[in-house]
A and B are shown apart, each in its own frame.
Chain A
């Protein structure tokens, strides 16, 4: 990739085309629906399992198997909640590409900056799915 030399003037930007603005707005609409649903569901599950985990830690002790499993579940739900918030943030930036033309490039960059950890979490979910499917295949 070619980096601009310090003496070279910064290149001019082509404006973001209408097609990309429309597609981004369309993606943002669906991403917002998925993000809100996931945030609601994961948030409620996180609160519920948080209460159960705290109760479990006090009654069973922090190093018991039940408490450790509950704390791992709590962490997983927290990550899913975080993923939903990142999706919502990315959706906001994607929607703003068309709404604020002077900051469109910044919004495009911010949208993909937020989307990257979303796909890192998807990668982890895929790895867990691979492990569980492999276990099912080996056991059967």
Chain B
């Protein structure tokens, strides 16, 4: 009869199975391509929008550039997963970079919703008052 505890101790421990790691690496490669293309587009846009104001510059180059750079960073981490127990640490780094991208996008979305909601509210209040 085999001892299940002894058997478990001799088995290899992994964070991800080979096919799971391959899936994450594929996703990382797509993120790398998206990041690189985004950064090139931003650099071209920066040249085109050199005479524009600060708001246009932030909207058309700074924010897309930041998003592309963070996506590229997350993609590079995922595309080079080392294997073994360190995979989780690398995935956490990638998730943190993506988290910053979506947190900034989320804050922008919340600001847009707040501005529109306050405009609608003001319209109703003004219509009610006079």
Interface set of A (CB-CB < 8 Å, partner B):
1-4, 9-14, 16-17, 19-20, 23-24, 26-27, 29-31, 33-34, 37, 94, 105, 108-109, 112-113, 115-116, 119-120, 122-123, 126-127, 129-130, 133-134, 136-137, 140
Contact = CB atoms under 8 A, between A and B. Distances in A.
B95 A23 contact: yes
A125 to B, nearest CB: 8
A113 B78 CA distance: 13
Contacts of B96: 23
B110 A13 contact: no
Interface residues of B, number: 50
A29 to B, nearest CB: 8
28 contacts: A10-B17, A11-B11, A12-B13, A13-B15, A13-B17, A14-B13, A27-B95, A27-B98, A31-B102, A37-B113, A105-B16, A109-B20, A113-B27, A115-B27, A116-B27, A119-B27, A119-B30, A119-B31, A119-B75, A122-B71, A123-B37, A126-B37, A126-B68, A130-B41, A130-B44, A133-B44, A137-B47, A140-B48
A2 B91 CA distance: 19
B12 A112 contact: no
Contact of A105 (B18, B20, B48): B20
Q: Which of A9, A105, A126 has the most CB of B within 10 A?
A: A126
